[in-house]
Amino acid sequence: MAHPLKSTKAHSLTGHVRVPGDKSISHRALILGALSSGQTKITGLLESDDVLATANALQNLGAVITKMDDCYNVTGCGTGGLCPSSPDISVALDFGNSGTGSRLMMGVVAGHDICAQFQGDDSLSRRPMGRVLKPLKRMGLNISETDKDTFPLTLKGNSDLIPITYELPVASAQVKSAVLLAGLMTEGQTCVIEPARTRDHTERMLAYFGAKLDIISRDHGRMITLHGPAELHGKDIVVPSDPSSAAFLTAAALLCPDSDITVKGVLINPTRFGFYQTLLEMGAHIELENERMEGGEPVADLRVMSSRLHGVDVPAERAPSMIDEYPCLAVVAAFATGETKMHGLSELRVKECDRLSVTAAGLQACGIPHLIKGDDLYVQGQDQVRGGAVIHTELDHRIAMSFLVLGLATEEPITVDDITMIATSFPQFIDLIQSLGARFEESKT
Residues contributing to the site for ligand S3P (CB under 6 A): 24, 100, 172-174, 177, 198-199, 323-324, 347
The residues that bridge with 68 in the sheet, in sequence order, are 71
DSSP state letter for 163: P
Q: Which is nearer to ligand S3P, 42 or 309 (CB)?
A: 42
Q: Which is nearer to ligand S3P, 256 or 299 (CB)?
A: 299
Q: Which is nearer to ligand S3P, 106 or 336 (CB)?
A: 106
Q: Are 228 and 245 in contact (CB under 8 A)?
A: no
CB of 113 to ligand S3P, least distance (A): 26
CA distances from 268 to 85, 289, 443 (A): 40, 11, 36
Residue 386 corresponds to which amino acid?
R
Percent composition of the chain: helix, strand, coil (DSSP 3-state, to 5): 35, 30, 40
Alpha helices (H) along 166-242:
173-183, 201-208
CB of 25 to ligand S3P, least distance (A): 8
CB of 39 to ligand S3P, least distance (A): 24
Pairing of strands 221-228, 212-218: antiparallel
Rounded Cα gap, residues 212 and 190, in angstroms: 11
CB of 24 to ligand S3P, least distance (A): 3
Rounded Cα gap, residues 410 and 365, in angstroms: 12
Q: Which is nearer to ligand S3P, 100 or 190 (CB)?
A: 100
CB of 310 to ligand S3P, least distance (A): 27
Instruction: Output the residue with the shortest Cβ distance to ligand S3P.
Output: 24
Please identify every residue annotated as catalytic.
324
**290, containing H or E segment:** strand 285-294
Q: Which is nearer to ligand S3P, 257 or 315 (CB)?
A: 315
Q: Are 6 and 443 in contact (CB under 8 A)?
A: yes
